Structure 1
Amino acid sequence: MATEKMTVGSNVFESTLGGLTVRGRAHSLSAWFVLALRLMMGYAFAYSGLTKIMEGGFSAGGYLTHSAATNGNPFADVFAWMGATPWFVDIVNVAVPWGELLIGIGLLVGALVRLAAFFGAFMMLLFYFGNWEITHGLINGDFAYMLVFLAVAAFGAGRILGLDRRIEAYEIDGVPLLEKYPKLDYVLG
């Protein structure tokens, strides 16, 4: 059996986790697909948040109280507490529509993409448990969207026709922002 030797460089990625190293070679069209994922999720979230804001009166109380109580949800009691706690419902009533809108805008323009994708993945994880449905297995649309957000973050989708590339290159005292503050790589990209 022949093994293919890949060197890290253009269109090659690798990662080591727990002593296991995986390597892959991306197709030259991969950047377009990553961009498409970023724009799709950006549009979906911006649209969802904007419609909630424009319609007004968004309330998560009923969802939190009743949706998670079906189908043996392991966090039904947590969701019931959230729905029965007025101050928490008030926070969620603002956080969901505005969070969706800001995450969507960040993804659409490619700014702070890793930060936006992290919060998008977190929201989808909460929706996954809130919409608990395992009739057809543990994987559903909410779980799949969570993985899309994580892929967008992992591939640095904000650098593909996005503002993150420009933000990272912005110079402070002649030094690119990302070189001066390398921890910004966790929110940009």
Structure 2
Amino acid sequence: MTTRTLTPETSNTFTSTIGGYTVRGRAHSLSAWFVLSLRLMMGWAFAYSGLTKLLAAEPFSAGGYLTHVAAANGNPLAGTFAWMGSTPWFVEFANVAVLWGELFIGLGLLVGAFVRLAAFFGAFMMLMFYFGNWSIEHGVINGDFAYMLVFLAVAAFGAGRILGLDTYIENYEVGGRTLVERYPALEYVLG
């Protein structure tokens, strides 16, 4: 295993190259608190939304939303949403996926477990809400789009390692090796 010594010049720095373009940054020492705040904010929002759907007097149904919302607002995916809303098996799937997805995504973020997996599905849900709630009269960036980016930032910064259970899960030893050493693919769902 390779180790390196962190110095003030190399700690809190990050570099990424995509398509031949490299960006570099240096995080402030308070960055961890802000990343933790984003994780907890999105966790609370999603857990609360899922829980209110679960405890509502009427069973949650996505059918009306899927059928009507996209057709009324010039949505480029109006046909896809209409199909989803008029396909009984998909409506039943959405009824379960939205309610339980919001609840489990929220709980995962709140306790910091499987954060990258939760953030991926949270970002996917926000992308679907972005198109479902399509509104560009003030530009293409709205709250749903911004929340999608927050989920992606939570995943990118490994927010589950900041006062979260992912640190413990990653370092859990099985046969003398940590889980992520034994199963490297876990790095894509933990963190």
Give the TM-score of the pair, scaled to structure 2.
0.94
Structure-2 residue corresponding to 1:3: none
Structure-2 residue corresponding to 1:36: 37
Preserved CA contact (<8 Å) 1:8 1:14: no
What SS does the aligned partner of 1:153 have?
helix
Structure-1 residue corresponding to 2:173: 171
Q: Does 2:33 correspond to 1:26?
A: no
Counterpart residue identity of residue 128, structure 1: Y
Partner Cα distance (1:71, 1:61) in 2: 17
- The Cα shift of 1:70 comes to 2.0
Q: Does 2:155 correspond to 1:153?
A: yes
Partner Cα distance (1:115, 1:9) in 2: 28
Q: Unaligned 5+ residue runs, structure 1?
A: 1-5
- The Cα shift of 1:7 comes to 9.1
Of 90, 97, 100 in structure 2, the residue corresponding to residue 98 of structure 1 is 100
Q: Deviations over 1:136-159 (max 9, x none)?
A: 000000000000000000000000
Q: Deviations over 1:31-79 (max 9, x none)?
A: 0000000000000000000000001411111100110012211000100
- The Cα shift of 1:9 comes to 3.2
Counterpart residue identity of residue 159, structure 1: R
- The Cα shift of 1:183 comes to 1.1
| Aligned-residue identity in percent | 77
Structure-1 residue corresponding to 2:138: 136
- The Cα shift of 1:17 comes to 0.6
Q: Deviations over 1:102-159 (max 9, x none)?
A: 0000000000000000000000000000000000000000000000000000000000
Give the TM-score of the pair, scaled to structure 1.
0.95
Partner Cα distance (1:100, 1:57) in 2: 15
Q: CA RMSD in A?
A: 1.3
Partner Cα distance (1:60, 1:7) in 2: 51
- The Cα shift of 1:180 comes to 1.3
What SS does the aligned partner of 2:22 have?
strand
What SS does the aligned partner of 1:14 have?
strand
Counterpart residue identity of residue 103, structure 2: L
* Change in CA separation of 1:101 and 1:136 when aligned onto 2, cut-off 3 Å: same
Preserved CA contact (<8 Å) 1:46 1:100: yes
- The Cα shift of 1:8 comes to 7.6
Counterpart residue identity of residue 119, structure 1: F
Partner Cα distance (1:89, 1:7) in 2: 53
Of 56-65 and 160-169, deviating more is 56-65
Structure-2 residue corresponding to 1:65: 67
What SS does the aligned partner of 2:69 have?
helix
Counterpart residue identity of residue 13, structure 2: V
Q: Please give the residue correspondences for 1:76-87 in structure 2 after superposition, counting only pairs within 5 Å.
A: 76-87=78-89
Preserved CA contact (<8 Å) 1:109 1:163: yes
Q: Unaligned 5+ residue runs, structure 2?
A: 1-6
Partner Cα distance (1:45, 1:101) in 2: 6
